[in-house]
């Protein structure tokens, strides 16, 4: 049975494998069929016709909007499993309940945004992020002298509602950030990542971060069959930053061939279980 992958070109561009093998090419090498599309979430415009998805395993890979749109577009024929995007397990409060001892922000508090705005500015810098994995804003550090201004920006510019849950923790230094793809309880690929100008992702991760990712992969609780785990090196220790859905995660310099084979194998295994 040949798996079909429906790919968003936007996310494909966030992959820079060191051997130059694009993720689409790696999937073809792994024996999969690939269908690439670009998507404009504002107009719900999807370029290219979707191939037939009946009676075969399907995996979507792209932005949250792309995955949601594609899965709704192929209904009522439901692809299996369709995505690795169990967002109910990827909110901060959900994985923190199981990985608290490994978290970078282990001194966190979760409260409604309206309550955070009501309280006085903290005495030291804090890190603020949404609880939901489908983030309304990107987590960032807030200094005490800019607290009121930054909260107003979240309210007026990002549209964060008063009832939305946010995570607040003390700000911590980060020396390195690494992304790991975990499939069926194993780390199958890894890459450094970052947002600073000129940063080039590579597979040269730190052993201390590697050890934490393997610990996450071996825990009894797993958020999904396949997901990504971000680990930061901070204060000479590897610590979990967050978990994300595989279907919506950039691969940076991860080994695309290893990811293609591992995830496609999980896809076929799940279809076999569903049809038994």
Are 78 and 110 found together in one domain?
no
**Bridge partners of residue 176, in order along the sequence:** 233
Cβ atoms of 21 and 253 closer than 8 Å: no
Domain stops at, among 155, 170, 185: 170
* Strand spans (E) along 161-273: 165-170, 176-183, 186-192, 226-234, 237-245
**Tokens read off for 51:** 């191939």
Phi then psi for residue 74, to 5 deg, are -90, -5
Q: What is the pLDDT of residues 217-256, one digit of tens each?
A: 999 999 999 999 999 999 999 999 999 999 999 999 999 9
Domain that holds residue 249: 87-93+174-254
Same domain, yes or no: 228 and 197: yes
- Domain assignment of residue 98, yes or no: no
Into how many domains does the chain fold? 3
Task: State the pTM of this model.
Answer: 0.94
Taking only the tens place, the pLDDT of each residue in 66-85 is 999 998 887 666 667 899 99
Is the pLDDT score of 199 beyond 60?
Answer: yes
């Amino acid at each position: 049975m040949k798996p079909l992958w429906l790919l968003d070109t936007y996310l494909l561009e966030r992959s820079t494998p060191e051997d130059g093998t694009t993720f689409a090419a790696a999937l073809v090498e792994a024996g999969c069929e690939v269908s690439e599309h670009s998507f404009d979430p504002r107009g719900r415009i999807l370029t290219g016709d979707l191939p037939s998805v009946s009676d075969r395993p399907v995996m979507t890979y792209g932005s949250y909007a792309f995955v949601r749109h594609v899965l709704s577009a192929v209904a009522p024929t439901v692809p299996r499993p369709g995505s690795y995007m169990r967002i109910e397990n990827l909110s901060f409060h959900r994985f923190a309940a199981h990985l608290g001892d490994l978290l970078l922000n282990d001194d966190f508090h979760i409260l409604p945004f309206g309550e955070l705005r009501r309280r006085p500015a903290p005495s030291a810098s804090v890190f603020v992020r949404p609880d939901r994995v489908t983030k309304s804003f990107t987590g960032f550090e807030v200094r005490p002298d800019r607290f009121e201004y930054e909260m107003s920006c979240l309210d007026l510019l990002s549209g964060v509602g008063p009832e939305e849950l946010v995570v607040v923790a003390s700000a911590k230094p980060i020396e390195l950030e690494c992304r790991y793809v975990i499939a069926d309880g194993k780390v199958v690929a890894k890459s450094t990542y970052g947002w600073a100008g000129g940063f080039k992702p590579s597979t040269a991760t730190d052993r201390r971060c590697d050890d934490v990712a393997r610990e996450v992969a071996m825990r009894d609780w797993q958020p999904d069959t396949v997901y990504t785990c971000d680990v930061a090196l901070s204060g000479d220790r590897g610590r979990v930053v967050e978990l994300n859905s595989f279907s919506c995660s950039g691969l940076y310099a991860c080994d695309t061939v290893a990811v293609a084979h591992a995830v496609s194998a999980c896809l076929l295994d799940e279809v076999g279980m569903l049809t038994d």
